[in-house]
């Protein structure tokens, strides 16, 4: 190979790597609505509802993907930051995304955990436990989507709990 061909190959290679990086690391906008179901394990209370998820998934070279956005469930809107959870013994395989739902205490200025938020790796299934929903209906509730019955909601909880 002569020098001109070698330089051209290097330039094309570098441009290719930059192009692939730009495409891969570009933030992905996510906006989903789920039909959901609120239920409690120790109570007969159950109620259909909707979950709205809006935000942006950012991929990182370290494979620690981060979703930043908001959820809205049963009239309660909350900002969330979800972090990718890797499968046991395999950092390249994702189980999904998880986060604590936090709120700032106006009196102390400290953040307090008021719930949890978990999604499947493709954002097709979602489980929320939220203190404001618990207070609203006076109990401890799971909010699962997409589901329209208590049995479907329990199946989502069981499926997402298998990989842990």
Sequence-ordered list of residues with C-beta below 8 angstroms from that of 52, at least 6 positions apart, any chain = 32, 33, 34, 71, 72, 73
**Which pTM does this prediction carry?**
0.79
User: What percent of the chain stands above pLDDT 90?
Assistant: 41
Structure-token match 């809006």, residue found: 54
- Domain assignments of the chain as residue spans, ordered by start: 27-162
Chain segment 89-144, per-residue pLDDT in tens: 666 667 788 888 888 888 888 888 899 999 998 899 999 999 999 999 888 999 99
The enclosing H or E element of 136 equals helix 131-137
| 162 vs 9, more confident | 9
Is the N-terminal amide bond of 146 cis, ω within 30° of 0?
yes
Q: Which residue, 116, 117, 137, is CA-closest to 39?
A: 137
Sign of CA dihedral 149, 153, 158, 160: positive
Confidence of residue 147 (pLDDT cuts 50, 70, 90): very high
């Amino acid at each position: 190979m002569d020098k001109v061909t070698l330089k051209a190959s290097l330039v094309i290679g570098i441009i290719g790597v930059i192009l692939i990086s730009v495409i891969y690391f570009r933030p992905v906008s996510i906006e989903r609505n789920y039909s959901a179901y609120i239920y409690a394990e120790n109570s007969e209370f159950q109620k259909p509802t909707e979950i709205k998820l809006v935000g942006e998934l950012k991929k990182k070279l370290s494979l620690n993907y981060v979703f930043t956005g908001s959820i809205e469930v049963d009239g309660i809107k909350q900002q969330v930051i979800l972090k990718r959870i890797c499968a046991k013994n395999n950092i390249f395989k994702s189980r999904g995304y998880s986060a604590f739902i936090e709120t700032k205490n106006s009196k102390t200025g400290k953040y307090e955990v008021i719930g949890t938020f978990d999604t499947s790796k493709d954002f097709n299934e979602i489980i929320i436990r939220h203190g404001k929903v618990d207070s609203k209906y006076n109990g401890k509730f799971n909010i699962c989507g997409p589901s329209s019955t208590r049995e479907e909601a329990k199946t989502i909880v069981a499926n997402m709990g298998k990989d842990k």
